[in-house]
Structure formats: C-alpha cells, structure tokens
Amino acid sequence: MSHLILGIESSCDDTSAAVLRDEVLLSNVMASQEVHRQYGGVIPELASRAHQQNIVPVVHQALVQAGVTMDEIDAIAFTRGPGLLGSLLVGTSFAKGLSVSSGKPLVEVNHLQGHILSHFIQQPDQPKQPPKFPFLALLVSGGHSQIVRVDDYLTYEVIGHTIDDAVGEAFDKCAKIMGLGYPGGPVIDRLAKEGDPQRFTFAKPRIPDLNYSFSGIKTSLLYFLRDQVALDPDFIQKNQTDICASYQKTLIDILMDKLLKAVKLTGIREVAIAGGVSANSGLRNRILEEGKKRGWVTHIPEFKFTTDNAAMIAITGLYKFRSGSRAELDLAPISRALDYH
Ligand code: KG4
Ligand code: ZN
C-alpha cells in the first residue's frame, strides 16, 4: 500500500517541509534564515522567531508543489530533536496543531536518524541504489560527529562519537577566526581547493576507540594564527587558501582514521556519509578514493540532502509509520542527542 508522508524540520536555522509518496520525493521546500549571518552563528531566539514566520507558508508550499491536500496525507512526521529547543518547539507545536485539525497521525523523528536515512530518498525518474544493511554511516554535521552501525531502517548503534566539538563546529570556528563568515564549511571548502594541503601541519588528537575530538585542533589553529600574525599582520590574507587546505585536510584525516578503523573492526564495507559536512568536496573525494582502493561500496548523498532538510524527516517518518510508531500530543522536544532513545 502506498503512503503519503508530510515531513517538518525545524531543529536549527532552516525551516523545511517535504512530501513523499513512499520513498519518492514530491516536494522539499526550504526557508533558510539569513538573519544569522551578521552574527557569525545561529542566534537561538532569532531562529525560533523566524521559524514562526516561515512554517505556515513553507508547509503550504510543500503541499502545493507536491500537488496533494492534507486530506490525502497519511501521517505528519516532525523533528523531535536533537537541536535548539526553541526551534524544535515551533515545529513540534505546529505538527501537533496540524494533527489535531486534520485528524492525521503524528510520527516523531530523530534528526540524526533522518540524516542517515536521507540515502533512501528516491527522486522521480532518477532511481538510485540505496545502501544495503548492515552499513556504516559517518554522520558529520554542525552539531554531531558519529560513526553509526545501521542494521535496519530503525536499528542503529552509535559505535563512535565526538567527546567535545562536532567537526562542523571546527569548520565554522576556523572561518570565524579567519573572518570568513558563517557558515564556515562551504567557504573553507571553496578556498581549500586552491590551496596547498601540505603547507601547514596541525596536531591530530589521540583519542581511544572510535571516538573523535575536534576542540584541540581549533585551539591549535588559533595559537598558530596568533603567532604568525604577530610576525606578519597580513599572514592570514596572504595564506588564506593554504591555511584552509591544510586545516581541512587535517579534519578529513581525523575523520577517515576512525572510519577505517570502524570498517576493520566491524568488517562492514558498505559505507555512507551524511550530514552537513558530507557536502565537503574534499571529504567526498577522499571517501570515494579510499572506497575504490579498499573495495567498499560507498554512498555519497546529493548536495540538497546533506544539510538540514525535511525530506530526510519524511523518509524516516515513513519507515517509523510503517512500523506502527505514533507520537502522542503531549510529547516534548528533546535538545540533546544523548537524551534521545
Ligand atoms: O547537518 P547540518 O545542516 O546541521 C546540523 O544538523 O548541524 O550541518 C551544518 C554544518 C555546518 O557546520 C556547516 O559549516 C557544515 O555543515 N557544512 C560544511 C559544508 N557545507 C556545510 N562543512 C564542510 N564543507 C562543506 N561544503
Ligand atoms: Zn542536521
């Protein structure tokens, strides 16, 4: 039987709504919040206000573009967390209101699960081969860095995670220190392409198991730049591309070291990347290269499914809905990943 799912995402600074017919994407509407750029980071209070303004037109547009009415929708999937509490509250409350007024069931979605399951979204007339279970997912975003073993749509085990900052934060902070604006990932990615990744070296952390740490490298960049700028005030401008290339290479090396270890430990050679940082061209190339060399089946997401979007919430909602999962109206959002079960 065919299912129509409406997905709603509001965990950070993008308001998004999407409609899926089974795995096939019918619409994916996004309102990005420009207001944060001038502050060099997301301001939670401004984010929730912008979600309030955007959510009604965004959901409306998603239904219109999909050519469906609320009557035809089988379930409303919404991001319960993790994310900014004020932002999550807007999406959660809206989804509940819509559920009451339309009589449609609600399905709660873990945002991180959404990033991983984005690999299962199909686009009309562009069939793709999704990952086969079990697979390993390197989930890298602005808030999280994890290696996840995925045994089924809804069966996961986080086998490695960051003990401090996420890798996306390491990109964003670097850009902030260098005066390159927010978000940092895309601009560093662009500048790194023109630079020499061997020019500078940054110390890599020594963390046991499959865990990550990204706070040390940030500090090491800060001290390095401070020392260099003391000698030459124009150091950053003159060496921008080489700094970005060297810093980005170090971050990718750190990510890959543990991913290689995870493949060795689990024997799983089906490998996917997901989350905002999986838009990084250096990381995408590197994973393809390693995969080719080592005989992995690699899965690189389409750009529009790397950063936050509601299509990934809808696809997760679809699998949860089919498994019988339903959310109650008194369900509260959850801001921390660790509190999510
Ligand atoms: O998944 P996402 O949209 O939001 C969270 O769930 O956190 O990820 C946002 C993060 C930001 O840190 C941003 O700088 C990073 O993804 N990002 C990138 C690139 N595009 C976005 N990082 C590196 N290279 C990129 N091209
Ligand atoms: Zn995200």
Please write the tens of the pLDDT for every residue from 70-99.
Answer: 999 999 999 999 999 999 999 999 999 999
Do 285 and 318 have their domain in common?
no
How many independent structural domains does the chain possess?
A: 2
- Measuring from each residue's beta carbon to the nearest atom of ligand 1, which residues come in under 6 Å? 12, 141-143, 168, 171-172, 183-186, 189, 275-277, 279-280, 307-308
Do 144 and 54 have their domain in common?
no
Do 219 and 193 have their domain in common?
yes
Do 161 and 284 have their domain in common?
yes
Closest residue (by CA) to atom 3 of ligand 1? Answer: 307
Do 284 and 297 have their domain in common?
yes
**In which band, very low, low, confident or very high, does the pLDDT at 340 lie, cut at 50, 70 and 90?**
low
Do 317 and 267 have their domain in common?
no
> Which of 12, 88, 141 for mutating ligand 1's site (highest number of atoms within 8 Å of CB)?
141
Q: Taking phi first (over 0 means left), then psi (-120 to 50 degrees means alpha), and beta for anything else, what does residue 188 get?
A: alpha
Do 246 and 204 have their domain in common?
yes
Do 150 and 55 have their domain in common?
no
Q: Do the beta carbons of residue 317 and residue 77 sit within 8 Å?
A: yes
Q: What is the pLDDT of residues 18-58, one digit of tens each?
A: 999 999 999 999 998 777 777 777 888 888 998 999 999 99
Do 100 and 241 have their domain in common?
no
Closest residue (by CA) to atom 19 of ligand 1? Answer: 185
pLDDT above 90 covers a percentage of the chain that reads 90
* Residue-level pLDDT at 37: 76
Do 279 and 249 have their domain in common?
yes
Q: In what order do the strands lie in the sheet with 106-110?
A: 24-32, 14-21, 4-9, 75-81, 106-110
Centre of ligand 1 to C-alpha 307, Å, is 6
Return d(Cα 314, Cα 47) in angstroms, integer: 22
Q: What is the pTM of this model?
A: 0.95
Average pLDDT of the segment spanning 275-296: 98
Q: Is the pLDDT of residue 160 over 80?
A: yes
66: domain CATH number is 3.30.420.40
Per the structure block, which two tokens stand in for 37? Answer: 């750029």
Range(s) of the domain holding residue 11? 4-127+305-339
* Residue-level pLDDT at 38: 75
